[in-house]
Amino acid sequence: MLLLVLPFAVCASFTSFPFIVNYNEQNQWSWGKISLTVVAHFGASWCVTSLSMNYKFEELAQTHPEILFLYVDVDDIQSVSSKYGVKAMPTFFLIKNKEVVRKIVGANPDELKKLVDASTDSFETQIVVE
């Protein structure tokens, strides 16, 4: 597994090939023209509940190499957190074709696993708040 630690406190996990996620001045992520499924974990180093989800996030990244997993520290990249409306940590987003299709707020390992396992399915935008 390749783990890239990039500027802006964004981590990417992708096993197929070296992968770079760029963050530009317009507060947008860019990963080229490749259509990817992305799971983003918004958290903070001081947030115990966010830290408690790291094990599950890393486990899912290892078992789903076809998905790009990103970790965003809300204190380091406040503009992205604000753009995505993150109000609590942890918050997880499932992003397909650069659009948010599902959001989970709170530390719920079972819901996160369901989100990742179902990421190949087509479903309507959903929000789960714990």
What confidence tens digit (pLDDT) does each residue in 86-111 have? Answer: 999 999 999 988 789 999 999 999 99
> Which domain, by its residues, includes 116?
3-129
pTM: 0.73
Distance of CA 101 to the CA centre of its chain: 12
Cα–Cα distance, 115 to 93 (Å, whole number) = 9
pLDDT score at 50: 93
CB atoms within 10 A of CB 64: 18
**Tens digits of residue pLDDT in 25-53:** 445 555 555 567 889 999 999 999 999 99
pLDDT score at 129: 54
Strands (E), the chain: 3-6, 10-13, 22-23, 29-30, 37-43, 67-73, 91-96, 99-105, 126-129
Average pLDDT, the chain: 75
- Name the domain count of the chain: 1
pLDDT score at 93: 95
